[in-house]
Structure 1
Amino acid sequence: MNDWTWQTIVRRSWIGAAILLLGLVVAFEGGNTRTSRSANAQSAPAPATRLAAAAPTRSPAAGQPRIGGILKFGIVKDIGTPIPFVAYTSISQYVKDNVYEPLIMFDQKGEIHPWLAESWTPNANSSEWTFKIRRGVKFHDGKELTANDVVWSAKHIIDPANGAAGHGQLSSNVRDAVALDNYTVKFISPGPRGLLPEILADTSTLHIAPKESLAPGQQKMIGGAPPPGTGPFKFKAWIPGQEYEVARNNDYWGGAPYLDGIRFRVIIESTSRAAAVQAGDLDVTERLGPSFVQRIKSGQLKGLQYVSIGVAGIKQLVLNTQLAPTSDIRVRKALALSLDKDAIMKEATFGFGIPMLTWAPPNTDWETRNSFKWKRNIEEAKRLLKEAGYSGKPISFGSTQGQDDPWAEAVVRQAAEAGIKLSVQNLAGAELIQKTVAGELNVSVYGAGGVGEPLVANEQYIGCIGGKPAVGNVAGICTPEFEKLINQYMEEPNRAKRLVIWNKLAQKYFVDDVAYYVIGWANDRNFVWRDKVKNWERGPGQEYTHAKGGLWRTWLEQ
């Protein structure tokens, strides 16, 4: 996860992205249930190496994989920091997935695969999970990955002072991590956690970095380079606000990638990204709208390929419950009553969107069990504002520059009809996340999403730890009742019973307390790439890589 978070995330929402900060992570294809393998011990060999399997060369026969070349990839936002664990947006997470890896990983279908861990086994009630670490994996500095690195990474993320994207999800579900030997880690949960593999397979939750490679509280790069990862690409350079570059890891445990490297270029405006991919200044770009894709489909634009994200992710408003005047529930409800979701979706996505109440994927029982729908009622909104004593003072309203403009414009205009004055702060993505997490904004345009169960994908946004909001809980709402319900959900092995708990949480967060106002799922995003880019596939959401493919298997045709 913003969007992620992140997401995962955010991940976990951008990132939890931030996940943190956020997480956020998030924004993914809806209706696709993530399914883990059996809870019994899982194991698998390392993925077949690309070099051995395809025998590529730098001058292959036509249609065969080729080694070499720098892929130029256009992204909407800067990554904010190259530091692992900290993800200010979902894009930040997706970019760094090429350098830092999780223990287990989803493929395109949402199925879980071994990655840095070869197997995972629960105890009788799934309150403890034992992971066997893959032997022989090396960090980019040549040091071998051990269980101690995994334990340190987990504890670093669990500590809220470190601002990690996965803090909300990991700290809610892992009480402790212990190294049993050099290649065995035990995760101890506060109760049964049959869904822990689902949580850890989201890359925004737990990446692995070397033990003590970051100081406590460190969120910025010190000394010119971030900690080394284990991924198929190594950090090369970062120019804040402009580009982030990675280079091939020739010693990658799964086999070296085809590409010499990837240069992620930050281009905020979609028209500029579209022009760049047409001109060949970019090889791949994200988040181009349906009007551009229609020109490819019609044959008007040649030499380009595309893939639609489907239900790309959620757009929502985060309402700060701790900062006046949105700390008053009457003001939050008045804002919700001043808005027309259908009109906003049509304006912002040209009709390519689905208004929703919660984070649930559309056309699933996670959404349809709750029949409540916000309906615009200007007179009732005005009554609540008067009752709350709202004087018309500007309410701070943050949005991401370029990306969120149509959403923000529609919200500001509609809210004004009820007498609500939103003062827009048009910010860079990372700055929006930072201000939102710090509690400096009353309202923020945010992302969310995820495949499968909505609470698993977005737990960071409502996480409560010991009666206090987790790092990614940007609405700042946390009560003993909420924390109890969340824990009950995560401990419940029966899906039907989890659904009942989810509906209770949905009623409280999205209706009774209006901590988040979900506008809906947008499906107006598309990846576009030039014909010379071969074998690239997005992840189960909008990720740039996944357990069976992505940028680590992409090659460039000459």
Structure 2
Amino acid sequence: MLAEPAKVTTFDPILAYQSTDLRAIDLIGGRLFSYDKDGTVGPGLAQSGTAAPDQLSWTFPLRPDLKFSDGSALTATDVVASLERVRTDPTNVYSALTSAWKLVSAVDPQTVRIDLNVPSPKLESVLSYPVTTIVPAAHAADPKFYNAPVSAGMFTLASWGGGAEAKFVRNENYWGAKPIVKNITMTGVTDNSTRISQVRSGQVNFAADISPSLIDQVTAPAKLVTAQLRGFYSLVPNNTVAPFNDFGVRKAISLAVDRDQINKIAWHGKSQPLAGFWPPNVDGYDKNVPTGRDLDGAKAALRGTPCEQGCTSDLYFTSGYPGEPEMATVIKQNLADIGITLNLQNLDPTTLYSRLADGKVPMTILLVWDYVNQPSGLLNYALQQGGSQANFSFYNSPEMNQLIDQANQQSGDQLKETLAKIDALFVKDVPYANLTPYPSFSAANLPEQGLVTESDSATYVFKLQ
């Protein structure tokens, strides 16, 4: 039994952006490539990937005799239908990830080809993301199919129906080594203290995403599980809504926020301040970006803005995710020092993300992460236009978009230089204020050692047979 901060809301890979949904899809989803808990990418349904000499196409031979969890054959036709939906469906929240794709086609029943508009050296990494989950071609375009989907991951969905619990059973047709555990239930428990008490009592075996302020409550027989994920928490204003469409207001907010205080209070000192775009465990991180609070600079930035004489806004967050209530309290105090009054609005994760997608939130605290150490993911979710609208900031900079396009095509020293330019432009434009990297805390109480060894933002790691 796995206790999540929210219930599963969708099994559609192109619509899923909550942590709970991504973890659920990862349980059932087969993809051409896969990543481990360290972010290393390796073969999945594909045996390998080979780029053409001009780097404008890749071919992927599939493993022999692949099957979906229902026992039906999985062929290149299914891969093409699944990935073409990812490439072309306008509702895909990860559409920027596939902007380089020109066409996905089948060379033969066992071989897939992806033609590109521009080189994409990290294509294998992109093909490991949950959004690229492979489903049967006959159902790929049917939205109703994703209420009870079939794929080719370690588990298959046994029951859900949109309720608080989703039940899974081991996929006996899985191509690789199978997990020890045969049955899993994911249940949504929004209250942090309740998740911890349930794992201590043995009512659940794993409680994901617990608040660091409650770590001391994780006592025997429960054990604390920690991970440093490739992401960050941010204070995100909607750049299209007054007063946050004013650069000076956004700059003042970033300068007024006390990141050291946030780390101390929200994370009990277990994270660190972050003001640049790249987190410390991702290429591009610059330790020299100033993170200290600058009240004088913040007040100067407000001169001539709609907030020069003070202003008021709602700040949305969710107590379903760790640290956010504590961050909200600190931020409210910080911004009061420059005359910005915040009304705190605590919503459940499902409601919050629904409002974000509709553009109805003026400012919010958000978490964003990537699965592997490569730039495309974070750039897609957090800076580029698409389904996630640049981390729901609705920031849209032609200069930034050009840099992102370059980064997606580069490697080596060229990529390093472009990542530095992206970081510098992020600091200059201040579309939002990064606060801290993302440390993850969970609690485990396992009936058998090693059933679940770790959980990060999109993966449960199981001991295999």
TM-score normalised by length of structure 1: 0.76
**1:74·1:282 contact (CA, 8 Å) conserved in 2?**
yes
1:520 matches 2:440:
no
How far does the alpha carbon of each residue in 1:52-80 deviate from its partner, in whole angstroms, 9 at most, with x for none?
xxxxxxxxxxxxxxxxxxxx111112222
Report 1:128-527 matches (<5 A).
128-162=57-91, 164-169=92-97, 171-201=98-128, 203-215=129-141, 218=143, 222=144, 225-238=147-160, 240=162, 242-254=164-176, 257-289=179-211, 301-310=219-228, 313-362=231-280, 366-368=284-286, 371-390=288-307, 392-403=310-321, 404-450=324-370, 453=373, 455-462=375-382, 464=384, 469-472=385-388, 473=390, 474-494=392-412, 496-509=413-426, 511-523=427-439, 525-527=441-443
How far does the alpha carbon of each residue in 1:382-435 deviate from its partner, in whole angstroms, 9 at most, with x for none?
444341123645323221234221111111221122111223331222322222
Aligned to 1:12: none
Change (3 A) 1:95 1:515: same
SS at match of 2:272: strand
Change (3 A) 1:357 1:130: same
Change (3 A) 1:295 1:224: closer
- In 1, distance between residues paired with 2:406 and 2:294? 35
Q: How many correspondences in the alignment?
A: 460
Q: How far has the Cα of 1:311 moved from its partner?
A: 5.1
Q: How far has the Cα of 1:302 moved from its partner?
A: 3.3
> Which amino acid letter does the alignment assign opposite residue 317 of structure 2?
S
- In 2, distance between residues paired with 1:177 and 1:74? 38
**1:173·1:196 contact (CA, 8 Å) conserved in 2?**
no
SS at match of 1:368: coil
**2:12·2:146 contact (CA, 8 Å) conserved in 1?**
no
Q: How far has the Cα of 1:449 moved from its partner?
A: 3.0
Q: Which moved more, 1:245-254 or 1:359-368?
A: 359-368
Aligned to 1:36: none
Q: Which moved more, 1:529-538 or 1:517-526?
A: 529-538
How far does the alpha carbon of each residue in 1:18-46 deviate from its partner, in whole angstroms, 9 at most, with x for none?
xxxxxxxxxxxxxxxxxxxxxxxxxxxxx
- In 1, distance between residues paired with 2:372 and 2:44? 21
Match of 2:18 among 86, 89, 92: 89
Q: How far has the Cα of 1:339 moved from its partner?
A: 0.8
**2:222·2:444 contact (CA, 8 Å) conserved in 1?**
yes
**1:359·1:448 contact (CA, 8 Å) conserved in 2?**
no
**1:312·1:542 contact (CA, 8 Å) conserved in 2?**
no
Q: How far has the Cα of 1:124 moved from its partner?
A: 0.9
- In 2, distance between residues paired with 1:294 and 1:257? 31
**2:35·2:42 contact (CA, 8 Å) conserved in 1?**
yes
SS at match of 1:354: coil
Q: Which moved more, 1:139-148 or 1:380-389?
A: 380-389
1:544 matches 2:459:
yes
Aligned to 1:17: none
Unaligned stretches of 5+ residues in structure 2: none
**1:361·1:454 contact (CA, 8 Å) conserved in 2?**
no
- In 2, distance between residues paired with 1:517 and 1:294? 30
SS at match of 1:102: coil
Match of 1:100 among 20, 25, 29: 29
> Which amino acid letter does the alignment assign opposite residue 305 of structure 1?
K
Q: How far has the Cα of 1:174 moved from its partner?
A: 1.8
- In 2, distance between residues paired with 1:238 and 1:462? 30
Q: How far has the Cα of 1:481 moved from its partner?
A: 2.1
- In 1, distance between residues paired with 2:175 and 2:5? 31
How far does the alpha carbon of each residue in 1:109-132 deviate from its partner, in whole angstroms, 9 at most, with x for none?
333221111121101132211111
Change (3 A) 1:346 1:239: farther
**Runs of 4+ that moved beyond 4 A:** 289-296, 451-454
SS at match of 1:309: strand
Aligned to 2:448: 532
**1:153·1:206 contact (CA, 8 Å) conserved in 2?**
yes
Change (3 A) 1:194 1:311: closer
Change (3 A) 1:429 1:553: farther
- In 2, distance between residues paired with 1:225 and 1:84? 12
**1:357·1:367 contact (CA, 8 Å) conserved in 2?**
no
> Which amino acid letter does the alignment assign opposite residue 358 of structure 1?
G
RMSD in angstroms over aligned alpha carbons?
2.7
TM-score normalised by length of structure 2: 0.90
Q: How far has the Cα of 1:533 moved from its partner?
A: 4.1
- In 2, distance between residues paired with 1:453 and 1:256? 26
Unaligned stretches of 5+ residues in structure 1: 1-71
- In 2, distance between residues paired with 1:326 and 1:154? 37
Q: How far has the Cα of 1:288 moved from its partner?
A: 3.4
Change (3 A) 1:158 1:288: same
> Which amino acid letter does the alignment assign opposite residue 193 of structure 1?
S
How far does the alpha carbon of each residue in 1:436-480 deviate from its partner, in whole angstroms, 9 at most, with x for none?
23221122211123366462330223565xxxx221222222233
- In 1, distance between residues paired with 2:226 and 2:293? 31
Q: Which moved more, 1:187-196 or 1:223-232?
A: 223-232
Change (3 A) 1:424 1:125: farther
% identity of equivalent residues: 24
How far does the alpha carbon of each residue in 1:324-369 deviate from its partner, in whole angstroms, 9 at most, with x for none?
2211111111211221110111110111111112343427772236
**2:94·2:386 contact (CA, 8 Å) conserved in 1?**
no
Q: How far has the Cα of 1:502 moved from its partner?
A: 0.9
- In 2, distance between residues paired with 1:527 and 1:124? 48
Q: How far has the Cα of 1:99 moved from its partner?
A: 0.9
Aligned to 1:21: none
Change (3 A) 1:193 1:522: closer
